[in-house]
A and B are shown apart, each in its own frame.
Chain A
Amino acid sequence: DQQVKQNSPSLSVQEGRISILNCDYTNSMFDYFLWYKKYPAEGPTFLISISSIKDKNEDGRFTVFLNKSAKHLSLHIVPSQPGDSAVYFCAASARMNRDDKIIFGKGTRLHILP
């Protein structure tokens, strides 16, 4: 049973526009959420995270929004650049439950169009 769901396998966005990647989770014990980016033949690279005590975290072009009541988070990339083309993984952990492992979604492949 998928505890972290990324329902869009792929997304295409024009360069310069906003990319919005969505993620839903089912486990109410999750209290720490992360986004990773992965290029082919490389390991996932940490992008940005958010604790459940916040509803927004921003780092440069990347902003993560968390809606705990809806068990939903999203990653906004603005403006989108060609180098943003990659697979993006949403991930979560239940740290206050002494559970440090990360549960990943299946990923969304983002294509930035010229």
Chain B
Amino acid sequence: DTGVSQNPRHKITKRGQNVTFRCDPISEHNRLYWYRQTLGQGPEFLTYFQNEAQLEKSRLLSDRFSAERPKGSFSTLEIQRTEQGDSAMYLCASSSGTAYSNQPQHFGDGTRLSIL
């Protein structure tokens, strides 16, 4: 399967714990994005990378959140000191090309985070 892969698919943790999610993009894609989706809403942008450079972060990404893409391939999203409001589906997407090229983003199946 050459699509976007996310692990784990589900994560249940207690409030206050740290969690880390992984995303493996489509191999030839240089851009990688993180989104968050809650019930009844569309995905909301969190941050994105071009290769290993983090180019933009949403104000939704509080200082408890950190994302990395150390070698320009896979990415991790870490949430420290989780709160109830962090419960959501975390989606990763990737795309090729530059900011001016009309290449769509392709999404993984997400990691569902549940905070007890």
Contact = CB atoms under 8 A, between A and B. Distances in A.
Contacts of A102: 33, 35, 43, 45, 105
A96 B100 contact: yes
28 contacts: A4-B42, A32-B102, A41-B109, A42-B109, A43-B4, A43-B91, A43-B93, A43-B108, A43-B109, A44-B91, A45-B107, A46-B104, A46-B106, A46-B107, A49-B102, A49-B104, A89-B42, A95-B102, A96-B100, A99-B99, A100-B55, A100-B56, A100-B99, A101-B45, A101-B48, A102-B105, A106-B40, A106-B41
A85 interface: no
Interface of A: 4, 32, 34, 36, 41-46, 49, 51, 89, 91, 95-96, 98-107
B42 A107 contact: yes
Contact of B110 (A43, A51, A100): A43
From DSSP, what is the main secondary structure of chain A's interface residues?
strand
Contacts of A42: 109
Most buried by A among B56, B100, B105, B108: B105
Interface size class of B (residues with CB under 8 A): 20 to 34
What 9 pairs across the A-B complex have the smallest Cβ distances?
A: A104-B42, A43-B107, A101-B45, A46-B104, A43-B109, A44-B107, A100-B99, A104-B43, A43-B108
Contacts of A100: 31, 48, 55-56, 99
Contacts of A46: 104-107
A4 B48 CA distance: 20
B44 interface: yes
